Amino acid sequence: MIWYFVKFFREESHADQFMAGSLYLNTLGYFKQVEAEDTDGRMDSTEAIAMWLQPQDLVMTFKVPGIGEIEISKADLAGPVSVSFDDHNHLHLFCLYAGHITGFEFVDGKIECSPEDAEEIQRQLDIDERCLNFGRFAVVVPAFPFLNQAREALISQRYQGWGRLVEYYDETTFHGEIPLKDIPFRKQKRFEYQREFRICILPHIKKNDAITINIGDLSTIATKVESSNLKSLLNPKIELAPVDG
């Protein structure tokens, strides 16, 4: 159940542009830039991995003309081996923080849970402090109205795209191939705190530059705040109903 999205901005003018319905989408390849110690968590050199292979479970054999066969095993590898496809670099992404909970059933808009479950719901909806480094300003928008408006606009402008929550895998234990349709929506567990929902768009013309898509004014459903105020704004009030009998 996704309740809301949050989009962070360093510049207030960019937040205002989003409120006006302007979506700025960088390429997936842009986010694959090498991470540095001073980056805020947006860059991920392991974006769009198709295969992630642990050294202890991998043996590669190469046939080299004039030399013969060369075998590479875990003794020759410093870490996991990854494989990716260049085509994914040309996808355009719009990334959002998704306020959502998993593992609970909604009945008539309510959740029946124990006090211990209420603590888990609170934990899942609590925004990690690291996310506040994405920018001083934040725009909060309810999930379903935003997705419906975006879907209608993308269809009318003949964009091909899809959106879903990102799933996170443990890079220290995962070994295998990621299904082709899931590749843009898988990231390593170290990014799990970002709780990301992303929209992937195929541009009309393949290009490496960012694109802007207007989906119509969002100001009637969105709220702009300073990121430092998000926790108090979005802190859920959980009331435990008395149990009959």
61-80 confidence digits (pLDDT tens): 878 787 878 888 888 888 99
Listed in order, strand segments (DSSP E) in the chain are: 2-9, 22-27, 49-53, 60-64, 68-72, 81-84, 92-100, 106-107, 110-111, 137-142, 160-165, 167-169, 176-177, 186-188, 196-202, 211-214, 223-226
- With CA atoms as reference, report the closest residue to 174 among 84, 83, 85, 80: 80
The model carries a pTM of 0.87
Same domain, yes or no, for 226 and 184? yes
The confidence score (pLDDT) of residue 236 equals 62
The confidence score (pLDDT) of residue 117 equals 77
Same domain, yes or no, for 109 and 230? yes
Positions in the chain whose pLDDT score sits under 50: 245
Q: Answer yes or no: are the C-beta atoms of 89 and 29 closer than 8 Å.
A: yes
State pLDDT tens for residues 98-123.
999 887 777 666 777 777 777 887 88
The confidence score (pLDDT) of residue 215 equals 98
The confidence score (pLDDT) of residue 234 equals 81
Same domain, yes or no, for 63 and 165? no
The confidence score (pLDDT) of residue 122 equals 80
Same domain, yes or no, for 221 and 161? yes
Tokens of 183: 């590749």
The confidence score (pLDDT) of residue 200 equals 97
Same domain, yes or no, for 137 and 80? no
Q: Domain range for residue 221?
A: 2-47+90-170+180-234
Owner of token pair 């719901």:
121
Same domain, yes or no, for 98 and 132? yes
The confidence score (pLDDT) of residue 8 equals 97
The confidence score (pLDDT) of residue 245 equals 46
Which of 31, 58, 84 is the endpoint of a domain? 84
Question: What is the number of structural domains in the chain?
Answer: 2
